[in-house]
Each structure stands twice: as structure tokens, then as C-alpha cells.
Structure 1
């Protein structure tokens, strides 16, 4: 009996060791076996690196030291060294090229790969084991790992045109990709706002086209301001970055943006563009940014550019873009029209196809293959060896694969990391709000839409970071990249059946966030959840051990703000914000307090739901209240909401009888003027689901923190009819004003209130909501107590200005003192604080 108890105790003890030593490897390996024994790394450990990997030896030594603190002796060889660490290539290994086997025993550590990249992937796993939270420093648990990637292409794109990142920053980015077993760095080197690659046959591309600002050929844009901004990489720089990446197992695919997105080219060499007097604009509002397809000399220029690119970048692909081409330029160009007539073309997509077939031949001339965005499939056949980057959506990847093209899945809805990560964060929103969980949910192979043979055309997955809005705050590029790239790495590497968000999140928060911090990445931490109920705010940290701080005045918490420890009793929950802090440079976004939904539903039937809810406990003051219907998931958007009514003590306050689709995320405004705590409130509405599709939503009811007085808005500037000036008077944060031209010295916007407004502060915001584009750079805000005499307030700073009146305000005026050097100006609703 005693012996049995002893055996059970030993067994449980070994389990505790295993449980305590979570390895938290990202991306998750295919197969891993772990024992409750440890290899203690000798202080004078010797590392053997296969002589075929000589180029990676110094990298292995330096990163091993960074992760263990042990300065190993490194030698090249082809045999396993006992009591040391060996990295060897075994071409007979029964694994894919990027696969590896890692074994840790009492004899030491052996990493074997079929290729040098496979060995390097094993090296990254070893570093992660050494840096796992539960692994004692200087030791490595006995493990046996067999691992290989699901996809051969695991890429990430960085836009260095809109914002210029220096060589060291690019190399850091490559280091971070290597740490996640990514193997392609897509380097976006040219665009409208800067040409970043030295081309010796066309020196003005960097002498002129790499710079923007006053007196430059390119206007200021994307936050560069009224100063000279830019930079470029010399050919020596790019060759060094290529070598740096190859030593880490990463290939670099350069991108030349043609024939659109080429304002940096046409501004430097105007003859490259079309000869036309028509000022047509691209999607981004740029003019004259397209290569002339009918100008024969342009193909000689492209030949010389592509030749020089091929000399710098040994990777098999050169990306030639093809997205968002403003084809209207060609319609007005005599040379392009003449070419269309000569070839018998009936539309400009055929002209685009002609251009790319010419470019493909040039690329092939220099022993490279062409890659391009999915738009290049339009207008006719292209070379079957061309690689398609499917960015506009999953359906475009499906179309490409069905046509027989090797395809990289990179839909903006999941893998564009310039997208905002929550409703209140900076970033694009056209594709989706994409947090780490949403990114992780992406499945690159749509099983139901492709045959097994067509599925094989999905070569891999890639993310993209466009840099329009990465100019501030400092290190925002890192914040937008991680931990979303950690999620992307697991999409590209780990078997579909082994992917699990809860498991990934556990590994990420237990060890991997600290690894990111150790790499020096200013990543985005996960925010807490703050819920208000029954007079208390209760905060749930995002993971065990997370540090949460709060502010009580509506400001973002800082590292000096109070630490949250227990529920907070208050009725002024709207004034609180909470934030997770990881270290001195890493934090989450600040979050406001949420109230629990007042109602919800979930159905997949064709049915009508009549919902009635007592919401008395959710209402606690007079004010403007907004009712929002938020779909639970991206797919649960079927159905419509109608007959929405709010009752106070069974008396109707307001009703909305018209039907609104759930897909439109309805937002309804209610005014509560007679609140007291004895009142009862009831919400009634009808949901009609007309198809047997999922309809599911949370219904939220929240009081606006701002005043919304009746206001008349006038301006000296001509509005865009699709974004009228009346949008500045509707207090809807999703609508805004756009002018038809840039603002200029002397322009103004005047807000005149029907009745003077008592307020402590008014914020005047310009630009598209959440985007620092089309902002006012030069100007100030004024305010008046009588509508005639004005007092100067703040100057505009990065598009925003404020006033702090001492009396009720009758009017607010935006006064512009200079151009914003952009195609147009945008303005938003006033934010009028009580």
C-alpha cells in the first residue's frame, strides 16, 4: 500500500513538472514530446553549425546569447557534438524543406533540418523553449519535436513609401519575422508618396521622388507636415538587407508599384505619364499617378528598372503591383487611345492586360517570375507562372485558384494590419476592425469552394502593413504588427485541426508577450474589460497577472494612474477609463466602461421576434441616449429591426417605425428629459428574419457624453455632395464633411448655435474619423459669445483644436491660414463637453 502511494506521488510530481514547464511555442509545432528532465547548458557550451550554413553562424551565436545570456563558442562542422548544441542539415530527412527535428537529451541538443531554413526554424523553437516563462534559465527540458509548416509561403509586407523606415528598422522587422518562422518579407518600395529604391539608370527617382514637402515634386502627405520628409535605400543598403534576411531564413520580394500608384515616378519624370488635361483622381485622391501604356519608351525604362531590381534581389519573384489603377487617365490620353484602336480593344482593362503582358516578358528576361495584386487578372490572360496576391477578399483568392494561378491569400478583412484593432483605435476601417482574435480566425483554404486540386494552388498566406497612418505615435508600426503577426505565423505554420484560439491566447499571454518585449517590440497589449452594473465598475484583467490602471476624468490612464484592485462604486461610470500596462513602452488601448446589453437575440430561422425588455436598471440620468444593434459576429447579420419604441412609465417617449437592416448596425437617438429613480423604462422592438440565415446581436443603450445642441453650419469651401456640410450638424461620428478641393488661406467653417451653449470645452476635429488625412495643418479655432465678436482659441495641432469658454457660446469658427497640401479637406462634428 505504501509503495502504491509512493508511486502515485512520484507520478503526480512528474505531472507537476510537466505542467510547470509550459513551453508556449508559437507557432504551435506539429508533434512534441516532453520529459520531466533537464539539460543544463554548460557555461562554456559549444555550438556546431553545419558548414553549409556558414552565413547564419554569427546570427545563431548572437541570438542564442540574447535569449540565454550564455556566450557560446561557435564552430562549423557536419557532426553532432556531444554535450553541446548542433545545427545540422540532413537532406535525406523525411520532412518538407522548412521542417526540422529537435531533440534534447542528456547528450545535448540536436537540431536537424532538410534545408538551412528548416534548421533555422528549429533554432527559433529552441530559443522559444529557452525563454518560456516556466523554464529555468540555463536549462532546456528534454523534448523531441518533429515540425514542419502547413504552407510554404508565410509572408509579411511592409510599406516603406508612405512612411520611410530606415535600414536598421527594416532589419529589426526581419528579425521579428524570423522569430515567428515567417519566410518572405514583401518590401513595398515604391508608391505615390515616395520612391525608396536607388535606380542608377534613373537617378531622379530618388533625388526627387524620395522626398516630399515645400518645394519638392511631391506634396506633404500622411503627417509629414510642412518640412522636407523622406529617404531611400541605396543599392548597397538593399543588398545588405537581402543578405541579412537570407541569414535568417527569409527571402525578400521587392515590389515596384506600376502602372498606378506612381506619382513619385511621374513627378520626377513627367514624360512617363499620360499627356492629358483631365485631372482625374485615383482612389486615394492622387492625380497624374499612372504610367502611359501607349508610350513605347516606358517599356525601355521599365526594362532598366527591373534589371537593376533583379541584380539586387535574388528571390524568384518581383512584385509589380497592378492595384487601384486610375484607368480614366488612359481614356483621355491620345497615345493610349491610339494603342487601344490599333489592338482592337474595347475597354481599358484590356489595355491594363497589355501592359502586364509586356512587363511579364521583361521580368522573365531577367530570370524572375511576376507577382501582382489580384486586379491583374482582369482584361485577359496572363502568364500562368504569375503569382497572385489576393487582397480584396477571400473570393478573389478563390477566383485566382480556380483559374489555375498560384495564389497567396492575404484578404484585407483579416490580414491587413493597418486596420484598427478596436472601434476607438487609430487605423483604417474599410475592411474590418481586426484584433488579434479576428486575425487568428482566418482560414486560408475555403474547403467548400475549391476542389482538392484547386486547393493546392493556395501557396500560402501573407499579412500587410500599409503605412499611411503609422507616422504617430512613436513606434506605432510595432503596435500594429504585434501580436497580430504572431497569430499570422500560426495560420501559416500550424495544421488547421491544431489551431485553437484559447490555446494560442494562453501561450501568447503566459510567455510570448514577454518574448516580444525581450525583442524590444512595442506591441499592443490586450485591454481589460470594465463592466458597470448596480452602481459598481468591475474590471476583468485580460490575463492572469496583468496590471490595470484607471483614470476618473475621462483621460487615458498613465503609468502613474491608480492601480485597479477592487470594484469601484460610482454613478459617474462614463468618466472612467482603464488600461493594461505591460512595461515602460507597452500598453493596451484605453477602454471605457461598458454596460451590459439591454437585450439580445439569436436565431437562424425565418421568423418574427417581438422583443420587450424592462430596461429601468440601465437608465440613470437625463440626456441623449443611443440605442445600437451590434451583430454578434461578422456572419450574424441577417434580418431587420423595426418598430423600435421606448416607454417611460408605460408612456411612449419615442418610436422609430421604419425598417433598418441589422447589417447596417442601426443607431437610434432617444432624448430622456424626466428621469428619476422611481421611473420604469421599457424597450419594445421587432426583429424580422426573412431568410434561414444567422441573425444575432447585442442591443446596447448608452448615454452620450457630449451635448448635441441645434446648430447651423456654413463654410467658404465647396462641399462634396456625397459628404455634405450638413454632416457637421448631425452629431453622428460616422459621417463627416469632405470638400472638393484643398483648403486655402482665408477659408473658414462657421458653427452657429440656435441658443447659446454652456460648455466647459469644445473640441474641433478635422480629417476623416480615426484617420489623420485631409486634416487642417494651418489655422486656429475662434469662438463668440454673441455671434459677432470672436476670441481666438487653440491653433490646430495635427488637425485638432479646442476652446475653453467662460460663458455660453453662440458660435464657433474654424479659420484656415494655409493649404493642407492634400486633394481635399475633411471635417467632423464638434465634440461639446457638458
Structure 2
């Protein structure tokens, strides 16, 4: 009996050992088998590195020391020694390219790679094992791993034009990609707002086009301010970074942005652009940013530029862009029109194709292949060797494949990491709100639309980080990159059948966030959820052990704010904000308190649903309340809402009879000005799903934290008819004014209230909501108690200013003292605090 008991205890202990050795590897390996026992790393451990990987030996030694605290003895050779850590290349292995095996036993550890990159991938897995939360330092659990990537191309793009990142920052970024088995760094080196690479045959491209500010050929933009801003990489620095990346198993694909997005080029060498009598603007509002296709000398210039690119970058592809070309320039240019007439072209897409066919030949002349954004497919056929990057959507990837091109799936809706990660965070929104979970949901191969043969043309997947809004806050580039790139790495590497968000999230939060921290990445932590019900706020931590702090005065929590531990009793839930803090440098966005939805539905059939909800518990004060209909996912937007009515004690407060689509995310306004605790409130509305398509939504009813007094807005500036001044009168935080021209000294915007407004603080914001573009860079706010005499308030700081009036305010005025050096100016609704 004692023997049986001892065996059971031993077996339970064995299971606990296995459980304690959870490795939390990202990306998830193809095959992994863990066994009982650990290999103790000797203080004088030897690392044997295959002579084929000799250039990576120093990197291997340095990373080993950093992750274990043990300084290894490094040997270059091809023999496996007992009690050593051996890394060998075996090209005859029966695993795909970049694959490896990793075996740890009592006699030591052996990593075998199909190639040098395979060996390095295995080494990155070893580093992750060292840093797993439940692995004891100085040990390696006995384990057998066979692993290889799903996709050949596992890429990430960084834009260094809008914001310039120095050489060391780029090296760090490459290190982080290598740690996640990403093998392509796409370096976006040129664009409208800066040329970042030395070209010896055209020196002013970098010397002039690499800087913007007063007295420079490029105006300030994207937060650079009225000072000289910019920089570029010398050719020696480029070669240094390329070699650094190769030592880590990462290839660098350079991008030269042509023929559009080239304001830095035409500002440095004006003759390169078209000569036109009428200026036209690009999508981003830039003028004169297109190469002249009809100027024959330009092809000689491009030949010299591409030649120098090919000498600096050994990678087989040069990305020649081709996106968002302002072709209207060519329609005005005599030289471009002459080419069209000579070639018999009927539209400028054909002219664009003419340009890229010539570029392809130049690229191939120097032993390289061309790559470009999906727009280059328009206007005619391209070389079958040209690789297409499908950024505008999955359908563009399908089109590319069906035309026979190898294709990289990089749809903005899933893999553009300049997108905001939640509704209230900084970032673009044109593609989607893209958090880590959404990235992880992306499937690169649309199997239903492609044959098996066509699917093989999808070479891989890539992310992109455009840098328009990475100037602030500090290290925002890291915040936007991680942990979203961890999700991208698993899409690119791991088996489709192994994808599971809950499993991935567990590995990420249990060990991998700490790994990111150890790498020095200021990543975005996951926010908590805070729910208000019956006078109490309850917070759910984003993961076990997370530290959540809160503020009860309407401010974002700081490192010194109190830690949440028990539900908070309050009726002023709107004043509370919560935030996860990983450490002093890493936190989540601050989140407000949610309330339970007042209604929900989930259907995929044709039906009409009549809702009549008692929402008395939801309404707890006088104020302006907004009813929001919010689809629970992108694919659940079918259906219509109509006949929406709010009742107080069976008396109608307000109704909306118009039919609105769920997809439009309707936001309806109600005023409650007779609230009493005993009042009964009822919400009635009709939802109709006219087609058998998925519809799923939550209906929220929330009180606005701001006042919304009747206001009239006037301005000295001409409005854009699509974004009129009247938008500053609707108190919709997503609508805004756009002018048709830049602002200038002496311009103004005047907000005049019908009745004076009592407020503790009024916030005045310029620029597009959530996007600090088209802001006022020079000016201040003024306010008046009588509408005639004005008092000077705050100067604008990064497009924002506030006033703190002591009496009721009749008017608020934006006073502009200098140009914003942008194509237009934008302004938003006032935020009027009680």
C-alpha cells in the first residue's frame, strides 16, 4: 500500500513538474514533446556553432549571456559534444526551409537547422524557453521540438520617412522581429516627407530632401514643428544595418517610393516633376509629388538610384511602391500627354503601367526583381516576376494571384499597425480598429476563392507601421508594434489548425509579455474592463496578476494612482478611469466605465424584432443621453433600426422614425431633464433583418459627460463643403470642420452661445479627431463673458488649448497667429465640462 502511495505521489509530482515547465512559446511550434527532467547549464558551458553560421556566432553568444547570466565558451565547429549546446546546419534535414529541430536531454542540447536561418530560428526558441515564466533559471527542460514555418515570407514594414528613426532604433526593431521568427524587414526609406538614404549620384535627395522645417525645401509636417527635423542613413550605415540583420536571419527589402509620394524628390530636384499650370493634390493633400513619366532623363536618374540601391541591399527584391499616385498631374503635363498620344493610351493607368514596365527592366538589369503595391496591377500586364503587396484588402490579393503574381497579403484591415487599437486611442481608423485579437483573426489564404494551385502563389504575410502619428507620445512606435506583431508572427509561422486565441492569449500574458519587457519594448498592455451596476464599479483584470490602477477625478491613472482591489461604491461612475500597469514604461490605454447594454440581439434569419425594454436602472441623472447601436463584429452589420422612442412614466420624451442601418452605428440623442429616482423609463424600437445575413449588436445608453448648449460658429476661413462649419455645432465628437486652405496669421473661428454657459473648463481641439493632422501650430484661445470683450486664454499646444472661466461664457474664439504649414486646417466641437 505504501509503495502504491509513493508511486501516486511521484506521479503527481511528475505531472506538477510538467505543468511547472509550461514554455509559452510564440509563435507556436509545429511539434513539441516535453519530458520529465531538466538539463543544468554548466557554469563553463560550451556553445558550438556551425562554421556555416560563423557570422552569427557573436550574436548567439551575447544573447545566451543576456538570457541566462552564463558566459559561454564559444567554439566554431561541426561536432556535437556532451554537456554542450550545439547548433548545426544540416541541409539534408526532412523539414521545410527555415525549419529546425531542438532536442534537450541529460547529455546536452542540439539544434539542427535546415539552413543558417533555420538554425537561428531554433536558437530563438531556446531563448524563449530560458525566459518562460515557469522555467527555473539555469535550466533547460527536456524537450523535443520539430518546427518550420507555414509561410516563406514573414515580413514587417517600418516607415522612416514621416518620422525618422536612427540606426540604433532600427537595429532594435530588427532584433525584435528576429525574436519572433520574422524574416523580412521592409524598410520604407522614401516618401513625401523625407528621403532617408544617401544616393551619391543625387546627393541632394538626402541633403535637402532628408529635412523639413523653416528654410528647408520641405515644410514641417506630422508633428515636426517649426524647427529643422530629419536625417538620413549613409551608405555605410545602410550596409552595417543590412549585415546586422543577416546575422539574425532577417533580410532587408528596401522601398523607393515612385512615381507618387515623391515630394521630397521634386522639392530637391524640381525638374524631375511635371511642368503644369494647375496644381492638383494627392490623397494626403500633397502637391508636386509625382515623377514626370514623359521626361526621358528621369529614367536615367532612376537607373542610377536603383543601381546604388542594388549595391547596398543584397536581397532579391526592390520595392518600387506605386500606390496612391496623383495621376491628375500627368493629365496636365505636356510631356506625359505626348507619351500617351505616341503610345495610343486612353487613360493614365496605362501611362502608369508604361512607367512600371520600364522600371522593371531597370531593376532586372541589376539582378533584382520588382515588388509593388497592388495598384501597379492596373493599366496593363507586368513582368510575371514582379511581386504584389495586397494592402487595400483581401480581394486585391485574390486579383493579384489570379493574374499569376506571387503575392504578399498585407491588408490594412488586419495588418496595418498605424490603425488605432481601440475607439479612444490615437491612430488611423480608415481600415479598422485593429487590436491584437483582430490581428490574430486574420487568415492570409482565402481558400474558397482560390484553387490549390493559386493558393501556392500567396507567398506570405506582412504587417506595416506607417509613421504619420508616431511622433508622440515617446516610444509610441513600440506601443503600436507590440504585442500585435506577436499575433502576426503566429499567423505567419504556425499551422492554421493550431490557431486558437485563448491559447495564444494565455501564452502571451503568462510569459511573453515579460519577454517583450526584457527585450526593452515599451509595448501596449491589455486594458481591464470596468462595469457599473447598481451603484458599484466592478473591474475584471485582463489576465491573472495584472496590476490595475484607477482615478476618480476624470484623469488618466498614473503609476501613483491607487490599485484596484475591491468593487468601488459610487454613483459618479463617469469620473472613473482604469488602466493596467506592467511597469513604469508599459501600460494599457486608460478605459472608462461601461454599463450593461440595454438590449442585445443575435440573428442570421429574416425577421422583425420588437424591443420594449424597461431601462429605469440605467438612467440615474438629468443630462444628455446617447443611444448607440453597435455591431459586435465586422461581419454582423445586417439589418435596420426604426421607430426608436424613449418614455418617462409612459410619457414620450422623444422618438426617431427614420430607418437607419446597423452598419451606420446610429447614435441618437435624448435629453432627460426631469429625472427622479422613482421614475420609470422605457425604450421601444424595432429591428428588422431584411436578408438572411448575420446581425449581432449591443445597444448602449450613456450619459454625455459634457454640456451641449446651442451654439453658432463662424470663421474667416473658407470651408470644405464636405466638412462644413456647421459640423462644429452638432457636438458629435467624430465630426469636424475642414477648411479648403491652410490657416494663416489673422484667421479665426468664433463659437457664440445662444445663452451664456457656466463651465469649469472648456477644451478646444483642432485637427482630425484622434489624428493630430491639420492642427493649429501657432495661436491661442480667447473667451468673452459678453460676446464683445475678449480675454486671452491658453496658447495652443499640439493643437489643443483650454480655458477655465470664472463666469458664464458667451463666446469662445480661436485666434490664429501663423500658418500651420499643411494643406488645410481642421477643428472640432468644443468639449464643455459642467
Q: Distance in 2 between matches of 1:106 and 1:89?
A: 22
Tell me which residue corresponds to 2:665. 665
Partner secondary structure for residue 22 of structure 1: coil
Tell me which residue corresponds to 1:89. 89
Q: Distance in 2 between matches of 1:188 and 1:503?
A: 34
- Output aligned runs, 1:203-602, within 5 Å: 203-602=203-602
CA drift at 1:127: 0.3
Tell me which residue corresponds to 1:64. 64
CA RMSD, 1 decimal? 0.5
Q: Distance in 2 between matches of 1:809 and 1:462?
A: 52
Q: Distance in 1 between matches of 2:733 and 2:81?
A: 65
List per-residue Cα deviations over 1:42-64 (Å, max 9, x = no partner). Answer: 01100000000111000000011
Q: Distance in 2 between matches of 1:622 and 1:501?
A: 42
Tell me which residue corresponds to 1:683. 683
Tell me which residue corresponds to 1:34. 34
Tell me which residue corresponds to 2:200. 200
Matched, 1:141 2:141: yes
Partner secondary structure for residue 645 of structure 1: strand
Tell me which residue corresponds to 1:150. 150
CA drift at 1:106: 0.6
- Output aligned runs, 1:108-123, within 5 Å: 108-123=108-123
- Output aligned runs, 1:701-712, within 5 Å: 701-712=701-712
Q: Distance in 2 between matches of 1:370 and 1:791?
A: 60
Tell me which residue corresponds to 1:106. 106
Partner secondary structure for residue 370 of structure 1: strand
Q: Distance in 2 between matches of 1:756 and 1:584?
A: 44
Q: Distance in 2 between matches of 1:493 and 1:731?
A: 46
Partner secondary structure for residue 669 of structure 2: strand
List per-residue Cα deviations over 1:37-93 (Å, max 9, x = no partner). Answer: 000000110000000011100000001111111111111001112101011000110
CA drift at 1:612: 1.1
Partner secondary structure for residue 618 of structure 1: coil
TM-score normalised to structure 1 length = 1.00
List per-residue Cα deviations over 1:661-710 (Å, max 9, x = no partner). Answer: 00100100000011011001111111111111001100000000000000
Tell me which residue corresponds to 1:697. 697
CA drift at 1:20: 1.3
Partner secondary structure for residue 447 of structure 2: coil
Q: Distance in 2 between matches of 1:4 and 1:325?
A: 77
Q: Distance in 2 between matches of 1:8 and 1:68?
A: 34
- Output aligned runs, 1:789-828, within 5 Å: 789-828=789-828
List per-residue Cα deviations over 1:150-182 (Å, max 9, x = no partner). Answer: 000000000000000000000000000000000
Tell me which residue corresponds to 2:189. 189
Tell me which residue corresponds to 2:623. 623
Q: Distance in 1 between matches of 2:368 and 2:148?
A: 27
Tell me which residue corresponds to 2:752. 752
CA drift at 1:6: 2.9
CA drift at 1:2: 3.7
List per-residue Cα deviations over 1:118-143 (Å, max 9, x = no partner). Answer: 00000000000000000000000000
CA drift at 1:9: 2.4
Q: Distance in 2 between matches of 1:222 and 1:780?
A: 20
TM-score normalised to structure 2 length = 1.00
How many equivalent pairs are there? 834
Partner secondary structure for residue 463 of structure 2: strand
Q: Distance in 2 between matches of 1:718 and 1:73?
A: 71
Q: Distance in 2 between matches of 1:500 and 1:278?
A: 54
Q: Distance in 2 between matches of 1:642 and 1:383?
A: 53
CA drift at 1:426: 0.3
Partner secondary structure for residue 242 of structure 1: helix
Q: Distance in 2 between matches of 1:679 and 1:336?
A: 72
Q: Distance in 2 between matches of 1:39 and 1:21?
A: 13
List per-residue Cα deviations over 1:774-812 (Å, max 9, x = no partner). Answer: 000000000000000000000000000000000000000
List per-residue Cα deviations over 1:623-643 (Å, max 9, x = no partner). Answer: 000000010111000011100
Partner secondary structure for residue 513 of structure 1: helix
List per-residue Cα deviations over 1:275-312 (Å, max 9, x = no partner). Answer: 00211000000000000000000000000000000000
Q: Distance in 1 between matches of 2:100 and 2:117?
A: 9
Partner secondary structure for residue 36 of structure 2: strand
